[in-house]
Amino acid sequence: MMKKGTKDGKSAGIKESGPGNPGPMPETGNPKHSDPGQNPGANAAASAEAKPAVTGPKPETQNPKHEPPDPAQAEMAALLKEIESAMFSIRFHPVAVTEKSKDEALSKLEGIYSKGNETVRQMLMYMVHEYLATSMELKTMHTLEYFKMKNAGQDAAQQRMSVYRAMFNYNTSLEGIFEMVKFLGRLRGSDDAVKLLTYHYSHLSFIENEASHVLRASILDALGKAESKYALLALLDYAEYTDNERSFGRIVSALLEWEEKLDSLRMPEKEKAGIRDKLKKIVTSEFGGSHYG
């Protein structure tokens, strides 16, 4: 028997939840707080939360000051991009770049050299040197196995691409090297280009094969077309000391071009007369003995 005041065993006064009676609801709104006197820790915590955080001055790194770019550096960076772009155009001729584009790139580099300061010129000469220095690899047959040994850590796709570049780039053949040598002979306004030519001539003189002979011949021709006094003096030295008849003939041909330009050089007349006499002896002599003793 159920106790009085209950219905179906449930406490009296608590209605069963149902469609019309959702049952007891959870408490909402502000919870009841205990007496601060009974819980001093809670009171202290609440007081601490109410105080604003004390902060010091923000470090300058949080608000960096952006300095305006230096105009000289910006101009140098732009020139560097132009030089690199032109050098790429020359390297990728004839497979990926037309002859017209290659010639335009060479013309652009001539303009940069003639208008640039010493820093710009030396930067350009550095890139041309890197281009010419690939002549030392002409004796190597570039195959996949070669690049596997040279670049062991490179993936196979990049190694195959290196083979394609070696096959098709302009600077990996004699005619591509000739092109850059002639370019150096055309540059005006400084001795930098001529000095680079004599550097490569000196290096090639330590190698005896057909490739080094024709490359040296192209450099001698370029020195003949140059307008730098340094080129003339270098040719005179080569003529005096060479023991190679073929080289001597090339040197004489280059010096013949200087006979017509000698008057345009800025130097004392006495020095100019001495060079003129030396030139006459060289070009009228036959190879052998002291050549023009």
pTM score = 0.72
* Residue 21: per-residue pLDDT: 47
* Residue 54: per-residue pLDDT: 53
Give the whole-angstrom CA distance, residue 164 versus residue 271.
53
* Residue 56: per-residue pLDDT: 54
User: To 10 degrees, what angle do helices 245-261 and 210-225 make?
Assistant: 10
Give the whole-angstrom CA distance, residue 131 versus residue 52.
67
pLDDT, averaged in runs of 10, over the chain (293 residues):
45 44 48 48 49 54 66 88 96 96 97 92 96 91 92 91 93 96 94 96 92 95 94 95 90 92 86 90 71 45
Give the whole-angstrom CA distance, residue 42 versus residue 128.
79
* Residue 22: per-residue pLDDT: 47
* Residue 52: per-residue pLDDT: 52
* Residue 134: per-residue pLDDT: 92
* Residue 237: per-residue pLDDT: 95
Q: What is the DSSP string of 44-105?
A: HHHHHHHSPPP--PPPGGGS---PPPPHHHHHHHHHHHHHHHHHHHHHTTTTTS-HHHHHHH
Cα distances from 222 to residues 62, 100, 282, in angstroms, run: 58, 22, 19
Cα distances from 264 to residues 191, 227, 260, 269, 282, in angstroms, run: 16, 9, 9, 11, 20
* Residue 61: per-residue pLDDT: 55
* Residue 262: per-residue pLDDT: 87
Give the whole-angstrom CA distance, residue 64 versus residue 60.
6
Paired strand residues for 7: 10
Give the whole-angstrom CA distance, residue 40 versus residue 47.
11
* Residue 16: per-residue pLDDT: 45
